[in-house]
A = this chain, B = another copy of it.
Amino acid sequence: MTVTLADVAARAQVSPATVSRVLNGNYPVAASTRERVLKAVDELDYVLNGPASALAAATSDLVGILVNDIADPFFGIMASAIQSEIGGPGGRAGGERLAVVCNTGGSPERELTYLTLLQRQRAAAVVLTGGAIEDAQHKAAMDAKLKKLADAGTRVVLCGRPQAPDTGAIALTFDNRGGGKELTEHLIRLGHRRLGYIAGPEERTTTRDRLEGHRDALAAHGIEEDPRWTVHGRYDRRSGYEATLELLRRDPSLTAVVAANDSVALGACAALRDSGLRIPDDVSVAGFDDLPFSIDAVPSLTTVRLPLAEAGARAGRIAMGREEAPPGGIASVRGELMVRGSTAGPRG
């Protein structure tokens, strides 16, 4: 029923080997023969059997991309950039690669499961995006898996994720700590001394790094932190809303709220407004990431811009072997402080 290589070969009056070579274009084939083959392919509407060729050639054109949540633009932007670099006519002839995007939902098990599935598919490369989970046991399992993948020839790239030493993975980490510090310093320079912090979920490198940056800044300026000023939540708007109300309840005298990311910051803004507070007159708000919508908030959001698209593109190129890995297999990508309307001096 389905057309196979042999059918094409028969019709073009050549051997299957020749058809294969025409299709893969990595072996000399006379122009006239090639034409005849291509004609047969066209007439029969032949489509290569991917699994069969992957099996025979022991390679695959699948590239895995692990994300926490593809509906979140933070990951969507990276995924899109990675994608744009792995496919397309940039690679070798016929080198269209397919991106397998895996939504882990932040679950350790799913992360591992997807890696196994990708390993099963003999993926050509795997890119892991976003922060890692800080559980020692899970980390060990992940590292072992990554090493196995790398050993099997799969290129492993971490994008916005801390390095995984001795696994063979290339890391493009985000300088979350530095960005967090810069952001809070900006607030401190404006005169704030009572700053609330809405952190992400615990046990995540991104959460911890940003929070540490925040604390670095406080410490550097001799501000003693009140434990009531930090609330943990999820990386979404709703969490930001609730956390802000909680913060306000704990200490109504706060003059600034620093959020784990932009979505959380937007939720914080909504909560402040609903509480009758003006931004930035009564309370300043800052986010992190600089997602596209952040500039449209009113007032527009002060945040740290992470070059997600650039980092993703680079990760994609490295994954395809089209760009050299950074020295030492790791590069730190810095964020840029974007000062906008949501921050001002206290009671300004």
Q: A residues touching B (Cβ–Cβ < 8 Å)?
A: 2, 45, 47-52, 54-55, 60, 62, 69-73, 75-77, 79-81, 83-84, 96, 98-103, 105, 113-114, 116-122, 148, 152, 237, 263, 266-267, 269-270, 292-293, 295-298, 309
Contact = CB atoms under 8 A, between A and B. Distances in A.
A49 B55 contact: yes
Nearest to A88: B110
A51 B62 CA distance: 11
B296 A2 contact: no
27 contacts: A47-B119, A47-B120, A49-B55, A49-B122, A50-B51, A50-B54, A51-B55, A51-B60, A51-B122, A69-B80, A70-B70, A70-B76, A71-B80, A71-B309, A72-B76, A73-B73, A76-B76, A79-B101, A80-B103, A84-B105, A96-B113, A96-B117, A98-B100, A98-B118, A99-B101, A266-B293, A267-B296
Contacts of A296: 237, 266-267, 269-270, 293, 297
A116 B298 CA distance: 45
A296 B267 CA distance: 8
Contacts of A295: 270
Contact of A49 (B45, B96, B120, B292): B120
Nearest to A77: B71
Contact of A55 (B47, B52, B80, B297): B52
A251 to B, nearest CB: 24
Nearest to A103: B83
Could you say which of A263, A267, A296 has the most chain B C-beta atoms within 10 Å of its C-beta? Answer: A296
A94 B114 CA distance: 13
Given A83-B103, A293-B266, A121 B71 contact: no
A121 B101 contact: no
Nearest to A308: B71
A244 to B, nearest CB: 13
A260 to B, nearest CB: 16
